[in-house]
């Protein structure tokens, strides 16, 4: 950091004091050293100033912007963007059409005509993805630094002529295309427009909730209530860099508390019944609490987790990157006949087992639950399962059993319809069971029906099948005890073969 500061500050005008020792007095001479804070843009570069080379080591990569904006520049220097040119040249397959995205150019910002490297071919001056790649031409600001510098846009879209999507697209890195297939790229306006919801259902709301005060082109409009933003790249990734991998605003590694995880900032909502909401008998986004074994309704007269909670395997060190280990996986598709490159999946549809079309993530969520129709490789490469087939088998087994138990819970609930009233502010035994039933197939339809019968139960079966099973068994036992109901014969036989699944009541196992 000291070297960085010295490099930046050396461009300014500084007085050097020369002391001449005399008997009884000191004579001071001030010597000024004039150096420019930026170089005039190269011919054809438009208003892009790029690196300052005058008086600098050409390898110093001293951005003109960094002469004043020391903090953001220091962070940026640690990112891959700061070495984008060398990365391309060392790849062995650099082509001229690639260089516009590995340099300062009109790509990524509001400038539309060729500029920077594309306008000047000056790679020394405009190499790497510098500040102006996102913020746009910096010359007007450095000439008159009045505080109104060019602001980067936070919007993303394959149809836009600025933003991250201008470079992070195409067959080699289709981030914007796959993001547009995801729910993050299609924010629901109703939820985004509600003050209690927009902290997760809009990108601008999330930034405000996380205390991100950095300015961007659309910020004032959003703060004024004029529209909302999707969960774009700059919401989860800090464009200037930071201490987390992939420039993420929160960590994704398992070494951190699960609730500190990036995804947990939003995917941890209504994990237990809410008597104050008409929707309170259904979970909203319970993935984090499921992973750590705290989601669901815990019947007060039964000893079930917590405190003896069951942590899902996917929430342990076996899955090093937690949510990202399953939901953000890369793989390369090659031509089976020639071995030639076809497509690089980048995992930004965020589907854990995405549906495939010719080996490529199709963006669809409903297809057959097979290793041919879905991508199960991440289940093996993440460290949780030995092979994709083993992962599929474990999922089918867990989802199948939980489906049977959930249907038994629902069968019992249907016998006491008067016990279900989500508006009365009281959680009955039936309503607690209703919540656990809904938790078992969250993300599916109300009745759990899908084209693939098990699909509605794969969410809970992957996040924590054992904890879900415990909640469902407890729900069946509680319903029988509270209302004098009788479970189906298959359940009686199942529980007689698995008595350890029974919850404890006041120190004793529940009796049939």
HSE-up of residue 453 (Cα within 13 Å, Cβ side) = 8
Tell me the DSSP string of 224-262.
TT-----S-HHHHB-TT--SSGGGBSS--STTS-GGGST
Chain segment 321-367, per-residue pLDDT in tens: 999 999 999 999 999 899 999 999 999 999 999 999 999 999 998 89
If you average pLDDT over residues 124-138, what whole number do you get? 97
CB 133 within 8 A of CB 104: yes
Measured CA to CA, the distance from residue 355 to residue 373 in angstroms comes to 6
pLDDT over 60 at 511, yes or no = no
Of 406, 447, 405, 413, give the one whose Cα is nearest residue 429: 413
The per-residue pLDDT for range 448-493, each reduced to its tens digit, is: 445 578 999 999 999 999 999 999 999 999 999 999 999 999 999 9
What's the mean pLDDT when you consider all of the chain? 89
- pTM given for the model: 0.89
pLDDT at 260 over 90: yes
């Amino acid at each position: 950091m000291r070297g960085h500061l010295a490099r930046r500050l050396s461009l300014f005008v500084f007085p050097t004091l020369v002391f001449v020792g005399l008997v009884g007095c000191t004579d001071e001479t001030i010597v000024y050293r004039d150096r420019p804070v930026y170089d005039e843009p190269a011919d054809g570069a438009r208003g892009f100033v790029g690196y300052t080379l005058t008086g600098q080591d050409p390898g110093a990569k001293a951005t003109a912007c960094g002469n004043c904006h020391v903090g953001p520049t220091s962070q940026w220097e640690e990112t891959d963007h700061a070495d984008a040119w060398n990365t391309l040249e060392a790849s062995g397959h650099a082509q001229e059409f690639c260089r516009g995205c590995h340099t300062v150019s009109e790509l990524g910002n509001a400038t539309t005509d060729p500029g920077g490297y594309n306008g000047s071919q000056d790679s020394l001056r405009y190499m790497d993805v510098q500040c102006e790649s996102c913020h746009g031409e910096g010359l007007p600001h450095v000439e008159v630094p009045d505080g109104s510098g060019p602001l980067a846009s936070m919007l993303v879209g394959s149809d836009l002529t600025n933003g991250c999507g201008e470079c992070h697209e195409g067959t080699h890195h289709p981030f914007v295309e796959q993001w547009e297939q995801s729910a993050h790229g299609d924010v629901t306006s109703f939820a985004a427009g509600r003050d209690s919801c927009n902290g997760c259902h809009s990108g601008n709301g999330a930034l405000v909730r996380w205390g991100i005060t950095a300015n961007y082109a659309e910020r004032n409009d959003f703060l004024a209530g004029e529209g909302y933003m999707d969960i774009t790249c700059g919401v989860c990734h800090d464009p200037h860099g930071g201490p987390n991998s992939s420039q993420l605003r929160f960590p994704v590694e398992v070494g951190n508390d699960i609730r500190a995880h990036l995804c947990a900032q939003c995917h941890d909502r209504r994990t237990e019944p809410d008597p104050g909401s008409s929707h309170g008998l259904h979970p909203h986004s319970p993935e984090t609490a499921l992973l750590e074994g705290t989601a669901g309704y815990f019947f007060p007269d039964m000893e079930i987790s917590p405190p003896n909670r069951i942590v899902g395997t996917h929430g342990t060190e076996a899955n090093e990157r937690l949510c990202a280990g399953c939901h953000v996986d890369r793989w390369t598709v090659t031509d089976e006949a020639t071995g030639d490159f076809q497509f690089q999946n980048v995992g930004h549809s965020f589907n854990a087992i995405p549906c495939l079309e010719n080996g490529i993530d199709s963006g669809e969520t409903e297809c057959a639950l097979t290793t041919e129709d879905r991508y199960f490789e991440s289940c093996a490469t993440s460290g949780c399962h030995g092979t994709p087939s083993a992962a599929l088998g474990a999922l089918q087994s867990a989802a199948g059993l939980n489906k049977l138990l959930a249907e038994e819970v629902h069968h019992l609930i249907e016998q006491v319809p008067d016990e279900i009233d989500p508006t009365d502010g009281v959680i009955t035994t039936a309503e607690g069971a209703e919540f656990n039933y809904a938790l078992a197939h969250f993300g599916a339809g109300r009745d759990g029906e899908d084209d693939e019968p098990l699909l509605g139960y794969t969410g809970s079966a992957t996040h924590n099948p054992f904890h879900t099973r415990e909640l469902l068994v407890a729900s069946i036992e509680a319903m029988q005890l509270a209302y004098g109901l009788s479970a189906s014969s298959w359940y009686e036989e199942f529980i007689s073969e698995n008595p350890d699944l029974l919850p404890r009541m006041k120190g004793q196992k529940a009796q049939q």
